[in-house]
Amino acid sequence: MSAPEQLSGSPTLWSLVAARAALTPDTPALIEAETGRTLTFGALRERGERVAAGLYGLGVRPGTVVAWQLPTRIETVLFSVALARLGAVQSPVIPFYRDREVAFALRSSRAEFFAVPGVWRGFDHTQMAHRLGARGVLQVYADLPGGDPAVLPPPPADGTAVRWIYWTSGTTSDPKGVLHTDRSLLAGGSCLAHALRLRPTDVGSIAFPYAHIGGPDYLVMLLLYGFPAVLFETFALPEAVAAYRRHGVTVAGGSTAFYSMFLAEQRRTPGEKLIPSLRLLAGGGAPKPPEIYHAVVRELRCQLTHGYGMTEVPMITMNSPDDTAEHLATTEGRPPAGMSVRITDADGKPLPAGTEGEVRLRGEAVCQGYLDPAQTAQAFDADGYLITGDLGHLTAQGHLVLTGRTKDVIIRKGENVSAKEIEDLLHRLPGVGDAAVIGLPDPERGERVCAVVEQPPGAAPLTLAEVTAYLRGEGLATHKLPEQLEVVEALPRNETLRKVLKHKLRERFT
């Protein structure tokens, strides 16, 4: 079993765990960066069943809703795999979330159990759970449940049942509960692994919260291709570099912010390759300026493949290492078999290749909707396509180019201005470490264009005149030029894939 084509019928995550354990039981599956602890594929199945038996003894049954808010450790993966063995409905919650988001997730999912790590990074999750009135509070790291697998019912056989509730970031309103099946998660992970051309000799890395939708994506890749991943409970550079080197990581990444952090660290020692074993950076979740691609290849001396995914659809498109440099730098890759990408006008009418419009999706990796039926009805069109809110176009070769979001288009004096177009240009300007472009209310223009930039250490302070002169020199139309420049120490980001929170910038600078 080494290719996604072998996923036939209606497989489950547990069936994949069992199949991999039978094939390569003694091969390492998970390695903790901080402790060096290792779990093999055989032990993942064996211990997963024992934990499942312990949970069964506590009253967890097929269909029981279990929320968990756990950092990226071996026990977290075991706990999630055990729930998959039982056929429970699991609701992962990002460990950085606090009372408001956690209370919403527990209440909306009607969770009967809530697993927490106790005190983690100075915060008492158990105390919060009790404060929120959570039911069935389990301190996983104090006492991981265990029992005799003989008591367990047969494993779930249907991979199309909803058994996962993931949460959108909730950056502008309450989070939305996204409904996934084993099949949709397996479709995302298998297509991602195939696009990246992974192999059993690789060593991967998970430097983001395992509770993110990317967690099962990555686990599916490990199970299909039989290679291990290094787990980073907390990720910071330069501290993490030693673990990447020690374990011989060949595939790393996460999102554009991760690429930038690796580049910044590489620039401290330009004559020495930062991670000698690294052959591939891969990720998604946020726009990638073309200059970032060229800098990674040139300075980190490895390939960079970037893709497009979201909580609702963990894998939409992905570049492959053997794509052309032009495609790798300027597109999000091609959709896999089974994923239909449609570009439409605002009314849902399909548009030809090369024409910008709304991105809509239909396929096996697409979620089943949301916990709130009204949100589901609004999210899908009459043909069953998910309306993403993203803008883009397809090339003649079938690669997707994202150009922004419908809510990220600035309307200045009736003219549409793409924030992403300006951001991509700003990333090429010396003295800019990162940039975000937003629209701010303006009584004369409707909205004015505001550029917010981070500068690298030691860079001379930028002025608005310098920025606009550079953009004019790059051929940017006059009506798109920023009328306001703000230099910040750090752009506000979320805690998962380090996406820039533009609503925070709008609140600050309006």
Helix (H) or strand (E) holding 421: helix 419-426
Q: Could you tell me if 86 and 63 are in contact, meaning their C-beta atoms sit under 8 angstroms apart?
A: no
pLDDT, position 134: 97
CA distance 302 to 318: 17
Residues 6+ apart with CB under 8 A from 322: 197
Identify whether residues 46 and 150 lie together within a single domain: yes
For 124, residues 6+ apart whose C-beta sits below 8 A from its C-beta are: 118
Q: Are 70 and 215 in contact (CB under 8 A)?
A: no
Domain that residue 18 falls in: 11-26+41-183
Residue 6 pLDDT: 45
Q: Are residues 397 and 424 in the same domain?
A: no
Residue 94: CATH number of its domain? 3.40.50.980
In this structure, the answer to whether residues 255 and 300 fall within a common structural domain is yes
Q: Among residues 356, 382, 405, which one ends one of the domains?
A: 405
Q: Say if residue 67 is in the same domain as residue 50.
A: yes
471 and 336 belong to one structural domain: no
Would you give the DSSP letter of residue 408? G
∠ Cα 354 500 190 (to 5°)? 60
Q: Clarify whether residues 170 and 244 are in a common domain.
A: no
Please report the DSSP string for 302-364 in residue order. SEEEEEEEETTEEEEEE--TTS-HHHHHH---BPPTTEEEEEE-TTS-B--TT--EEEEEEET
What are 341's two structure tokens? Answer: 């990408």
pLDDT score recorded for residue 497 = 67
Whether 218 maps to a domain, the answer reads no
| C-alpha separations of 327 from 79, 88, 149, 199, 306 in Å | 39, 41, 49, 23, 10
Q: Which pTM value belongs to this model?
A: 0.85
Residue 45 φ then ψ, to 5°? -70, -50
Query: What are residue 82's phi and psi, to 5 degrees?
Result: -60, -40
Q: Is 73 in the same domain as 159?
A: yes
In terms of domains, do 76 and 45 share one? yes
- Total tally of structural domains belonging to the chain: 3
Residue 201 placed within a domain: no
Query: Same domain, yes or no, for 147 and 50?
Result: yes
Listed residues 183, 204, 225: the one ending a domain:
183
**265: CATH:** 3.40.50.12780
Q: Is 376 left (phi over 0), alpha (psi -120 to 50) or beta?
A: alpha
Answer positive or negative: Cα dihedral of 146, 151, 157, 158. negative
Do residue 424 and residue 354 come from a single domain?
A: no
Positions in the chain whose pLDDT score sits under 50? 1-7, 171-172
**343 DSSP β-pair partners:** 359
Parallel, antiparallel, or unpaired for β 113-116 and 137-139? parallel
CA distance 4 to 334: 16
Residues 6 or more apart in contact with residue 326 via CB below 8 angstroms: none
Indicate the angle between helix axes 214-225 and 74-86, nearest 10 degrees.
Answer: 80
Residue 330 shares a structural domain with residue 478: no
In a domain, 203, yes or no: no
